[in-house]
Structure 1
């Protein structure tokens, strides 16, 4: 049975804290001589070794091989994060960097991506953001002939965003019908979201109030159909900074890194993992095998819901990196990023 913090002696707590903090800082197992030299505990290396052995038997520390120092186990990291970690607030420069990403002009997705990239760079992890797909207010709709009975349907949003879809045309479609349908859709879509415009246009066509000939009506229906209802509600997952996961000292651990990068390609699974963090008020921390998705790659995930002023969850932000994360620094950084994105997504 894993001991709790109060069950550890003062000496064991001090040694355990030093081992964990030193390992998270350096990534190197910590030996008794190192602790004796830097800790100020006034303990001999032999006494420290005895304490470390007790901590190892309790499942909190482990030795990668016989002659090495000790490093925290996943159980030990969980105990440290939950009961001993002293959070460090982001610096003024770190806050400014995250805020600058959110202040970027253009479509909101680009600002979210820039904020995610800033979080990734500052935390030296891969940054993750899961947000609902936002429907922009629309400005213009057009058709561009492609030949072979196909055309490109183009949607332009008021925020400058552009989306394209390929539409199949009925054989022998008069090019004038493309212009007629595009003009009609632009008039009907202007200032509305796609779902709002779809409802309005469907009703007009059903009531035969749309001033369209049969060919143009067919084109309007096909133009709307290529944007499926599912696409409007599917969440958007933004991942930035995957290169941060490849540490210079990780050359002997390339299989783990390769597995982690493969897992990041499975966006549906990551989206599901982040979505599981929506219910909490604070960050959720998944350490190593605590999460099945990243169990084999030995990675940790910190995820926090993004809440609007009215309490609605409007997204989830987080990072993924090695279990040797500076949790005390990164957790508050994720929290600040969540607050920044809340203002952007409100």
Structure 2
């Protein structure tokens, strides 16, 4: 259904509509005409307000869940409110500090992304999500530390000072001197390269038989490059935090919707596909209910904003997923601020 332009509503209709939406977003309950008449200085009787609400229902902006109940905004009505009537509220200093608290320039970037997403989730009472940027770490040094006859710790040191370890299965007969030979070869040949570049350089050397490595030392290098390349390909591309916030006191009468939403949050590949739609834009994107097929059954909303790397290009997306009954005026600026904070961290 096409959204009715806000300019087509007269002042009385806009006032009533705004009060219905704000009340619903605050309580999650349908709003009756008597409630509106007590809240507003409209100088309208409950009967007049009922007539306006009926008109808004015919326009597809409000709906009555039951015959005797009050009205609540439809997804179309929420879209009209968010796009044309909402007054955004900037995050408070306390909220800004909470989002920035877990962000440091040291340590794995995934830890910082996870901390910011957890803070955003707690402040918004939604599930927080963030796309992890695909990184190509520049290599500085490799090492192997023997654990036993069949396993060693493969150590990778990046130019940014990051250190990561992986357990590597060893071929039979590997000695400490062979481990040192393989590590020295990798550090000498691959320093300054990314993992992909290192893998390609090794492949060409082996194809052209230019490598001085033979036997077990050669196999160690092949295994070492392979375990890091495989690890990079399998790094998580999506972090989800705070699903428990969706189970608050207001969900008791809406458990089926929440159950469906929690199931959908398990499908990280599908959520990743949804968030990719926000990668192409420069601004926050808002999907309300069935505007997005993935969350149409649970009637959930998604607010997502892109964040940028040091070169100014968009490298990821951060956002929240929650019920359509969100405090959009508060949560949208909060998501914006989190994206801006992550962009500063990535520089």
TM-score of the two chains, using structure 1 as the length reference: 0.89
The answer to whether the 8 A contact 2:128-2:320 is kept is yes
Change (3 A) 1:337 1:40: same
SS class of match (2:114) = helix
Q: CA deviation at 1:306?
A: 1.4
Structure 1: which 5+ runs fail to align?
none
Structure 2: which 5+ runs fail to align?
none
Q: CA deviation at 1:341?
A: 0.8
Render the CA deviation track for 1:45-74: whole Å, top value 9, x for unaligned: 111111111111211111121222111010
Render the CA deviation track for 1:181-202: whole Å, top value 9, x for unaligned: 2343344455543234334444
SS class of match (1:226) = helix
Counterpart residue number, 2:284: 283
Counterpart residue number, 2:239: 238
| 1:19-98 equivalent positions in 2, closer than 5 A | 19-98=20-99
Equivalents in 2 of 1:128, 1:224: separation in Å? 31
The answer to whether the 8 A contact 1:127-1:239 is kept is yes
Within the alignment, does 1:116 sit opposite 2:117 as a pair?
yes
The answer to whether the 8 A contact 2:118-2:242 is kept is yes
Render the CA deviation track for 1:282-316: whole Å, top value 9, x for unaligned: 11110011101111111000111213475411211
Equivalents in 2 of 1:214, 1:170: separation in Å? 10
Change (3 A) 1:299 1:165: farther
Equivalents in 1 of 2:288, 2:26: separation in Å? 17
Q: Count matched residues.
A: 344
Q: CA deviation at 1:233?
A: 9.1
Within the alignment, does 1:142 sit opposite 2:148 as a pair?
no
The answer to whether the 8 A contact 1:120-1:127 is kept is yes
Counterpart residue number, 1:129: 130
Q: CA deviation at 1:112?
A: 1.3
| 1:178-197 equivalent positions in 2, closer than 5 A | 178-190=179-191, 192-197=193-198
The answer to whether the 8 A contact 2:205-2:211 is kept is yes
The answer to whether the 8 A contact 1:125-1:319 is kept is yes
The answer to whether the 8 A contact 2:143-2:155 is kept is yes
RMSD, aligned α-carbons = 2.6
Q: CA deviation at 1:5?
A: 0.8
TM-score of the two chains, using structure 2 as the length reference: 0.89
Change (3 A) 1:172 1:286: same
Within the alignment, does 1:217 sit opposite 2:218 as a pair?
yes
Render the CA deviation track for 1:194-213: whole Å, top value 9, x for unaligned: 23433444455455554433
